[in-house]
Structure 1
Amino acid sequence: MGYRIAVAGATGNVGREMLNILAERQFPIEEIAALASRRSKGTECSFGDETLTCQDIETFDFSGWDMALFAIGSDATKTYAPRAAKAGCIVIDNSSLYRYEPDIPLIVPEVNPDAVEGVHKRNIIANPNCSTAQMVVALKPLHDRATIKRVVVSTYQSVSGAGKEGMDELWNQTKGLYVPGQEVDPSKFTKQIAFNVIPHIDVFMDDGSTKEEWKMVAETKKIVDKAIKVTATCVRVPVFVGHSEAINIEFEDFLDEDEARDILREAPGVLVVDKREDGGYTTPVECVGDYATFISRIRQDSTIENGLNLWCVSDNLRKGAALNAVQIAELVGRRILQKG
């Protein structure tokens, strides 16, 4: 059985990855449409061995289409997602617009697949923030065993999380530092990103946290367990692709590091690379293009009664965005559309 699938935002970083992953995973497709804004109408996009021509999302009729994967930002989503949903097309949205609405499922398939049953309330499913998605894949199997009380996470987020403009700025600033007179001032970011780190992602909130940090708190509670306390510090680093996280976890029950390692080795979507030797861990460069969430540096935290530390790395354009959206589409196909 094949599905009629539309990808909105097909010319952007995440939209292109959605098309790549749909092809790589041999998603059952009867027909596929690449959608973009009017200015990108006619632009060609790759889908496996095929070349798709972008259609104007403004005039696209979603009637008769099974699913639409959105990667167009909150403002455009506010216009087009309700239109698609009303036409009977299930929207899987990568923006932050719907994540915190109680009647819209927020899903990481390895963690809370049953939430997909709530899709027909509004015909929209939200894809979580990139930094949250990889973290909850690691947290859920440990939570099931020992019950997590509190999480302290520091992120090291690549510039691709800020889109093509972020990647271009890192590239151009790096080149400019070596060529006198060609220095590039910050534009996408608030300070120089080349050879620097910036402890600021998204806007500041009244309590001093940033919106990115707030997202990790709210989304972890919605996806895993509302009782978990989360505090986050989110930092942009001069890496093109791949988010990293240093995660400290406090449990209600004791969990030995060896048992935790065994649990994570069996967890869906997780790959443990944890050797206590030079290079016995995964870095962002090594995770690019991979589906897995990589876990390393698993060790006991002796400063609290039931604590563990771990290092978590994933391709943010894949698991943090496009891959998770495609996995949700696979889930919708199996659990919703096949029941018909």
Structure 2
Amino acid sequence: MSKKNSYKIAMVGATGAVGEALLQILHERAFPVSELVPLASERSAGDTVTFAGKQLTVRNLADYDFADVDIAFFSAGGSVSRVHAPRAAAAGAVVIDNTAEFRYQDDIPLVISEVNPHAIAQHTARGIIANPNCSTMQMLVALAPIHRAVGIERINVATYQSVSGAGRVGAGCAWAARQRSCSTSTSQSPGASASASRST
């Protein structure tokens, strides 16, 4: 893709938590967007999302033509990327995939922009750029300078993955479970029992 003054962007998974965050980042960092097309499943088509203070109508991914798209961000799950990311790349878009679908494929670069930005040039084979898991990205941004300076032989890691990785549904379930747990703890505490006794 040649350098341009502005780019037409397709955002697959625009109604999800990650898609919403990507839209916000593009706006906050003043990325040169000539047009932004929010895409999602047929179920979400017709909904609206906000970008740069404007309400944009979400389109159906299944029948969208990527022919004039410059960059397509995918954050709607691996099964969606498996079907539609190659289709977008074949139409000429540079695909940046935020799922695990392409992370282990040798002909698709796995890129952390602060660590190996030069690898982006390898995207031409398939037209797709993958990124690692979120915890891996954060860790390697911190460790890369150390590795370059003195070398790192081995990294032992234990992570607690955020429920937001499961999207809005996962975060909602976690919040509901926390509320139930708090309610149960409160009702069973001695203070709560004493308070209830005094009020009767």
Give the Cα–Cα distance (whole angstroms) in 1 for the partners of residues 51 and 25 of structure 2: 9
Report the alpha carbon displacement of residue 50 of structure 1 after superposing the two structures with TM. Answer: 1.1
Give the Cα–Cα distance (whole angstroms) in 2 for the partners of residues 79 and 151 of structure 1: 34
Partner residue of 2:10?
6
Q: 1:149 to 1:37 in 2, by over 3 A?
A: same
Report the alpha carbon displacement of residue 165 of structure 1 after superposing the two structures with TM. Answer: 1.9
After superposition, the C-alpha distances for 1:130-182 in whole angstroms (9 at most, x for unaligned) are 111101101110000011001111213221122212211221112112446xx
After superposition, the C-alpha distances for 1:53-107 in whole angstroms (9 at most, x for unaligned) are 1000011110011010000111111110111011011110011111111110110
Partner residue of 2:132?
128
Partner residue of 2:176?
172
How many residue pairs get aligned? The number is 180
TM-score (norm 1): 0.52
Write the mapping of 1:101-180 to structure 2, written as runs, cut at 5 A.
101-179=105-183
Q: 2:62 aligns with which of 58, 74, 86?
A: 58
Q: 1:34 aligns with which of 29, 34, 38?
A: 38
The one of the two structures with greater contact order (alpha-carbon pairs below 8 A, sep at least 6) is 1
Give the Cα–Cα distance (whole angstroms) in 2 for the partners of residues 72 and 156 of structure 1: 22
Q: Which protein has the larger Cα radius of gyration, Structure 1 or Structure 2?
A: 2
Give the Cα–Cα distance (whole angstroms) in 1 for the partners of residues 72 and 40 of structure 2: 12
Give the Cα–Cα distance (whole angstroms) in 2 for the partners of residues 77 and 41 of structure 1: 18
Unaligned runs of 5+ in 1: 181-340
Give the Cα–Cα distance (whole angstroms) in 1 for the partners of residues 37 and 182 of structure 2: 43
TM-score (norm 2): 0.87
Unaligned runs of 5+ in 2: 185-200
Give the Cα–Cα distance (whole angstroms) in 2 for the partners of residues 158 and 82 of structure 1: 29
Letter in structure 2 aligned against 1:148: I
Is the aligned partner of 1:69 residue 2:63? no
